[in-house]
Structure 1
Amino acid sequence: MKTTDTPRTGAALGWTAALTVTAAAATLGYASVVERTLFQLREETLQILPPGAKPLRILHLSDIHMTPHQKSKADWLKGLARLNPDFVVNTGDNLSHQKAVGPLLDALAPLLKFPGVFVPGSNDYYAPTLKNPFSYFTKAKSAAKPLRDLPWAELFSAFGAAGWIDLTNRSQSVGFNGLRVDFTGVDDPHLARDKYAPYPNGSSTSAEAPHLRVAVAHAPYQRVLDYFTEGGAELILAGHTHGGQVCVPGYGALVSNCDLPTWRARGLTPWELGARQVPLNVSAGIGTSRFAPVRFACKPEAVLLTLTPRTRF
């Protein structure tokens, strides 16, 4: 028998639809206006230094995606200098606008006074483009080159002038309080520009001196994590994923924008290769593309890693 909606049923459906639309609008408003500016500091402690070494504090910045007039972001970045890190590690995607270099350098000025290293991300080289958000659920591929270049050379020149070390497909050692920190880094794997540079050999007795091996990349593709691990890394730092950016509460990220499993899209996890296990820190990042200015259940972050000595046996 054919049924029809009664006026009361039709009204109820109408109210339900209205409430659904209202809830969706409120969620979008929260994600686009509120949560994406709820900057937070995640703190982690790792016992990975040689016995007897002094603690080492690393501030990990990633995916700032700066545009002009982002005052709250700039003020928060300036305030991070109060942490007095021993090193700053910047894992790329600093820009999201052609005119963002000046505002970014102003925001980072207090942090540029500390020793630092950096690697590029695709949104240091090329301006972001408007994309279909559902494309992120397809198989990850290397990003195609957008049409507009960003002033990355100007930015990296300023980083270098401040003393930050460019780790684009290269390695370098830095001394700190009797500890040698060996860094290696790669160009952006998302653009398939990565070429692994082995850690510096040093002298014939360099392996006997207290040291730590750190690997740095923008996008944490599994091939990159594997060759870092095989090469002897003791800590890997990366960004790119935005932590999923729009997450499901209680579940987490739906995408990582690379081949990294989504449960690793944010935070500190062990990366395993054979018998080796290396701490992997993936930052959820500080900004977003200016064409997708939303975050949900995934607040923007910087990460302060405090490295302490291993227990003596």
Structure 2
Amino acid sequence: MDGWFDQQKRELLRILEKFAEEDGTHDTQVPGLRLIRASRISEPVYSVYEPSLCVVAQGSKIVMLGEEVYQYDPSSFLTASVHLPITGQVREASEETPYLSLQILFDMTQILEILQVSGEAAEVKRETRRGLKISRLNDTLLDAVLRLVKLLETPRDIPVLAPYVIREILYRVLQHENNKSLKQFAVMGSHAQRIAGVIEKLNRDFARPLRVDELAAEARMSASSLYDYFKEVTGMSPIQFQKQIRLQEARRLLLSGSVDAAEAAFQVGYESPSHFSREYARMFGLPPVKDVRRLRSSLIEDLTSHAN
């Protein structure tokens, strides 16, 4: 079995090398399937994880959620159940052996359909767990993931077969002991599903003032219950969550070159530019102008090295 498992992983690596020839994130012809390649250890990258499954074929990566650190490699996989602001960093990569991974996006409608067909919807325990998990990759899940990625070599088969293979992949994830908590986020009325709604609202309306009592009322919880359940799912408080979303968006605006620091601060919801600058430096290590200058310089170096 170990020999078969290793052979499957080598085949997965072959296909990812074939369809992700350059560094970066690559959308594919399979809806919801992305391939990621990095030929060097990266700086911390701040982003928002969508509900997704991530599998590494080569190298390793760490993900930081709040104060928690998660690491995954070819022996494991990551699942994100809700939109979460994270810090990711490729830890093992080189020109000779680049980091290669894939991401499969999904939504709770797909999860709920599987639970209904399998008859498990009524059996889901209404508890609340962390929205990010690292689990050990097993042979049945690897086999299904490989069959999905292989469809890239026969694109005419994608419209017919991809939806069924993705459904099998999600079913395999749900059957994994470590990922049973994923089911909670699809069940209407569960605490996890209500918190997912709060997270969606914060991601959408991050520039507006945060009023916990209003969020709690919409979630049909007390303010203290909302705080506790929110922290259980995300590893941070609603205010910390909003701050990360705001600062990540501000950094994106500054890198685009369309606004200055004061305007970026205003657009993401800060009334005081000096307060924004302090919080920005606390998160990214440098004040806005210096941070953006460093990032652009690093980008130019990367482009120059690849050109050579």
What's the TM-score bracket when you normalise by the shorter of the two chains?
under 0.3
Max radius of gyration: which structure?
1
Higher helix share: 2
State the TM-score, normalizing by the size of structure 2.
Answer: 0.26
State the TM-score, normalizing by the size of structure 1.
Answer: 0.26
